Chains A and B, each alone.
Chain A
């Protein structure tokens, strides 16, 4: 199967007599060079996605003596009509992405502009902001769950600031505060990475444009609006797409810090799929949730592409 897909294009090339043999040779070499990556992509992405698609219409079990049976759309009906946790996971995921995408990209841009100044010690700042990115998310999550405890760091700080008037909150055990707590941590952890990407975009802008703008006598806002922002367009598209996909895939923080609780306040689509499909061994249902997730991410990415393209 993979063999024929990788070979097919060369056949087409062969039919086009007008092309030079050098071009044909080049195309063939290109496919040959790409084939290991394509093969791995097929093995670890293509086949699993197809399997997910097939399994989501069955009642397949992770561990069971019974063969999977075709059950039609039952898994999807169950998700939307009999599983309140799924609905909650869906809205939680959407809420998380809606808050994190603008906040994180905006904050990262502000930080990037800040550390792009030519002042002393700016490298130290960049390092400090980037540090959480290279720390494992699991480690970060465990550390922050200590901060969020009832007698943890945040409550002590708030207590000191309010002169003892603050009533301690168990941040992760309160349905109202658990998700905001995870959002704060997630933004803090990943903002450094996106700052660096914005920074590379900023430094790719031709300084001559700023000089010309200075000659025209622009103020700070106009410089940002008419020089910096248009120069950052492709960076913006990249950051928007990566943050959105990362935000929709929220899992580690939830798994380590809250197990989806309290009362489903932090359950997400990926977490729910793992819990159902793997921990409760219901592969068919887990696949159905994953498929819904896949379609949602695909749709959002396509919409984003369409929207950002119109900017051109």
Chain B
């Protein structure tokens, strides 16, 4: 009696554990990819209604034309999107189509999440460089749009301070820029000369400040081999960049604690603002189109640069219907949708033929200079699987420099950390 009851109890407990585990695994294994002919698509823009609407429209049109392979869309909030992808990859349950932030692509391709894209070479050639994701000479992702960094200036302030306005073809030199900051900081109506957006979050730092570092002649990593940062992130040019950047704060040109989201500029506290194309429309609404200057990046000696690369589309390596997934991406990259993307969120289309049809980038459009700057000066972040580590380490180093840490020592430690990571990953060699 006792024995049987004990056995029964044991069995019961085992069953309970088994049920729990089964519940866990069935949750992971649920909504499998491409089992019923349909293809699943995940996107990060759950919180961005305008952008999501464009994707939804394209999905509806695609499904009507291809009833055999309907696309099923699932949107995530951007903050938790990458985690969802990582979790799905571990569980072997990636969707057929997914979107990804440009710089993370090599990491995912290296990890075997992504399949090489198989879109027509005609389409591939028509897309601008900064919207294409290559790793190991293979195309893994393409984006419908890109945007550019730029400086936004108040025309009246420039005139009052007697600062000449640079053009896209003739950007500021370092001396001219320092001179402009010095003059603008003396204007009585403003508290600082510039808002460098240092209040912005992690990925902004390498996106925004590494192009300046590159313009000085440094870089995040050796882009030839991707094996070391030695001499690039801590060379003389990089130290000069660090010292110059720090001096903008010690000289009182910029605040170390600006308000978030460009409010200092929009509220008229600073006449110059380092931001991206996505801030132009809001600024023009606030001050009027004529008052807002869209200015190119500064040439600190080795050419002017801005960051490139935005969200792009890729096909997962585990997709059972890669042909249909690629077909959808080709479908989405038609001019029609690129124009809608642009009109909805203000970024420029990644295919030149779509550009004149857009609201903001057609001739005389409000954002035309953003397009010129983006296509002329964009430099992608290093295409290496180790970028996530580089990004985190550069973010920390640059923040330390802004708060007054010794530039050379900080950059030396950053190089040590990056090189240690590359070494512990055997150089991120592909399989």
Contact = CB atoms under 8 A, between A and B. Distances in A.
Interface in B80-125: 86, 89, 107-108, 110-112
Contact of A262 (B89, B388, B403, B413): B403
A8 to B, nearest CB: 10
B355 to A, nearest CB: 35
Given A65-B111, A262-B399, A279-B392, 10 more contacts: A2-B13, A7-B6, A35-B16, A61-B425, A82-B420, A170-B257, A173-B256, A173-B402, A262-B404, A280-B393
Contacts of A3: 10, 13-14, 17
A59 interface: yes
Contacts of A126: none
Interface string A49-69: 000000000010111111000
Contacts of B388: 279-281
22 contacts: A3-B13, A3-B17, A7-B10, A63-B89, A63-B107, A63-B111, A64-B111, A65-B111, A82-B416, A82-B420, A151-B191, A170-B255, A170-B256, A173-B402, A259-B399, A261-B396, A261-B399, A262-B404, A279-B202, A280-B392, A280-B421, A282-B421
Interface in A160-202: 170, 172-175
B424 interface: yes
Contacts of B79: none
A134 B431 CA distance: 51
Interface in A121-179: 149-152, 170, 172-175
Interface of A: 1-4, 6-7, 10-11, 14, 28, 32, 35, 39, 43, 59, 61-66, 78, 82, 84, 149-152, 170, 172-175, 259-264, 275, 279-282
Interface in B1-23: 2, 6, 9-10, 13-14, 16-17, 20
A280 B385 CA distance: 11
Interface residue range, chain B? 35 or more
Given A261-B400, A281-B389, A11 B6 contact: yes
B27 to A, nearest CB: 14
B426 interface: yes
Contact of A59 (B393, B413, B424): B424
Contacts of B257: 149-150, 152, 170, 172-173
B13 A6 contact: yes
Interface secondary structure of A, over-half rule: loop
Contact of A62 (B2, B86, B110, B400): B86
Contacts of A260: 396
Nearest to A4: B10
Interface string B386-420: 00110011011001101111000000010010001
A150 B257 CA distance: 7
B412 to A, nearest CB: 11
A297 to B, nearest CB: 25
Contacts of B416: 82
A230 B14 CA distance: 48
